[in-house]
Structure formats: structure tokens, C-alpha cells
Structure 1
């Protein structure tokens, strides 16, 4: 059996996902069940568009419930570091390549689930288990770190900025 991957979340992201799961189980399921029951009362199910739509909605919702349950089982919640300049799960990190402050990259250290629906979908996300994520985790603004890229090359970067993620 494959090892389950840790899902890194901020406390806020964990709570949002937990609340979504609770809402789906307590409100979503009964609402969809009522739609299915109402559509059944209309008669012939083979040509009942409302019934089939409600069943599709139910399947999608049950898939999301299963996804959330698995994600929350595998979640590790990152705590806010004492030093606000320290890279931790849930921080936006700006790095510079080759000591060139003009060649920078900004990313979220954590998991894509930390991003809300309203967040910029262009935000890059690196897991703490990734080579870059592992190298910067615990480093502070101004630190130089190295990591091995998937192609085997060693890459040096400087931490230019660290900011809390307001997801």
C-alpha cells in the first residue's frame, strides 16, 4: 500500500475544510435526498431529468465528502512561527535565484487546499516535502539555502521575503 502524503494546512484552512465537511454532511445530504425524493414522486425515472440531475449532484457531493475526509485525516496543521521572518507552512515566500534580486519567485509553502476559491489561482504552491519547500522550511529572511532539483543540479536561492498567507 502506498504511503499517504501529508497535507499541510494552516489552522484557518483546516477549520474551513472541516466546516465545509460538516455542512455537506448535515445540510447537503438532506437537501439532495429531498430533491431525489421529490423527483421520484414525478413518476417514470427513465426520462426524469430532475431525478438524474439530483443523483449526479449526490455523487459529486459524496466524492467531495470522501476527499475532505481523507485530506483531513492526512492533515498536519502548521503553527505560526515565533519569528515572523521564518519560513513555515502557510507563509508566502519570495526567493531570489543566483543572488539576483530581479530574478525572484513567490510561492505559498503548504498545499493547494490552503487556497480559497477567491484566491489567485496563479499562486504557486510548494509542499514542505518538495526539494525547494524542504530547503526553505525553517529558514529566515536573508538566509541562503541550496536544494537539489529533480534534474540533479544544485540550486542556490536567497530568502528575500517571508509573509503570512491570508487565505
Structure 2
């Protein structure tokens, strides 16, 4: 997997991101991840919808939990939009957290098996084999409309910018 030029830090320390950088205007590459029932899920399974991909390192951290809670809350009010919450956590951990928190408006997906999403969108942290934090928004025609690689992984994404883009697409 190739190194990319996205500069991010994790708790102030630079980390190396691997994979192809996602860019606004590009056609979104299809990828395969695992659902909570360990079934393969592809981006193309959500054709015809606006797709918000909320990317995070681990559901077992407070910032990642806050990110999932916020996107779950917002997803409740967005029609024809699917929020795909992607990390390399095992599907069991993702399901356990969502069940405990009552989060049922997001679709949790695990990239732990093949890092297919992470490598095709440039979110793999080489040093940790986790995904960096960020947001990707894809329109109904499968074009990337917004990408954020959060510069400091321990911080939350810019929800307002992401939601403004989503609302402009629906």
C-alpha cells in the first residue's frame, strides 16, 4: 500500500497514512467491508442515496463515541441519506456500542478484514493499522463531494461543513 501526502497527527505525533487519497470530484471507488452480521457490504449497495462515510479509529474511545452519537442524531433528520460508520473495530464491538447507546440511524461497518475502504480512500494509519478520523460525502451519482481528513485524529470532525454539503445534495 502506498504512502500518501495527507498530514495528520495522533495526540500531537505525526503518523503516516496509506492508500489513495480521496478527492472531491472523483468517482467514489467501490469497497467491501463487513456488516454487524459478518456479511460483505459494498458501497454500491447504497446506489441512489447520498452517502456519508464517518471514519474513525476505534469505537472504544470517547471521541469516536461522540462522533458516532452525533452522526446518528443527524441521520435521523436526513432523508435519502445513509450514514456509514467505518472503522477497523470488530463488528461485535461496533454492535455492542450501538446497542448500548441506542444508535440505530447509522450503519456500522468494519474494515478490519482487508482494509479495503481504508486503502482505497487513504485513511489507513501505517503505525497503528487503524483508520484516521474523517468524513467522506458521496452524492447519488457516486461522485465524491466532500472529504475531510481530520488533522489531529484525537479531535472530532467538522460536522457543520459536512452537514452543509449533505443538505445541499438532498
TM-score normalized with structure 2 length: 0.24
RCO greater where, 1 or 2, for CA within 8 Å and sep 6 or more?
2
Structure with the largest fraction of helix: 1
TM-score normalized with structure 1 length: 0.25
